Amino acid sequence: MKVILRIFSLAAIIFFLFFSSLNAQTVYFCEGVDDDGYAIGSSSSFTISRSGGYLYVLTRLGYKCETSHVYLDFYKINSRGKEVFEETLEMDTEPDWSWFWKEVTFYDPGTYVVYIADDYGYPLADGEVRISFK
């Protein structure tokens, strides 16, 4: 009985550590980023003019990125709920950065998903934003 309890306790600890580390990576869509790397005017939905509008994609990892480049892959969700590739943006980083941001301009309404990966293709974070026209 003690063995089963120890195994269960160990499994619970591993489960907790695994899922708590997953939540450490966060993507914010926001109107700005302060000097300490925190989002200003963060939201999951933005309204832009018909000529387009920009916002910031802030990524907070909770650990050093250990890479000199990151790639932001943008997909638009189509009417069937499928992701359709839009574009990839590249960004220079420093290996000791734990957060970074990129200014991104949107021209079309819709729901977008961004996948952020390091220069080895390892996924770092992802997020979703809805863009609508004024």
Within-domain flag for 18: no
Q: What are phi and psi of 79, to 5 degrees?
A: -65, -20
Within-domain flag for 19: no
What is the model's pLDDT at position 24? 74
Domain CATH code at residue 61: 2.60.40.1930
Quick count: other Cβ atoms within 10 Å of Cβ 98? 13
* pTM, two decimal places: 0.80
Give the pLDDT confidence of 43-66 residue by residue, as tens digits: 999 999 999 999 999 999 999 999
Within-domain flag for 8: no
Within-domain flag for 121: yes
- For the record, the structure tokens of 93 come out as 């980083």
Within-domain flag for 16: no
How much is the average pLDDT of 2-14? 53
How much is the average pLDDT of 8-33? 66
Which structural domain range is residue 97 located in?
25-133
Confidence of residue 5 (pLDDT cuts 50, 70, 90): low
Q: Which residues contact 49 (CB under 8 A, 6 or more apart)?
A: 133, 134
How much is the average pLDDT of 2-28? 58
Within-domain flag for 54: yes
Domains contained in the chain, number: 1
- For the record, the structure tokens of 43 come out as 């939201």
Strand order in the sheet with 99-106: 26-30, 53-60, 99-106
Within-domain flag for 4: no
Within-domain flag for 126: yes
Amino acid at 86: E
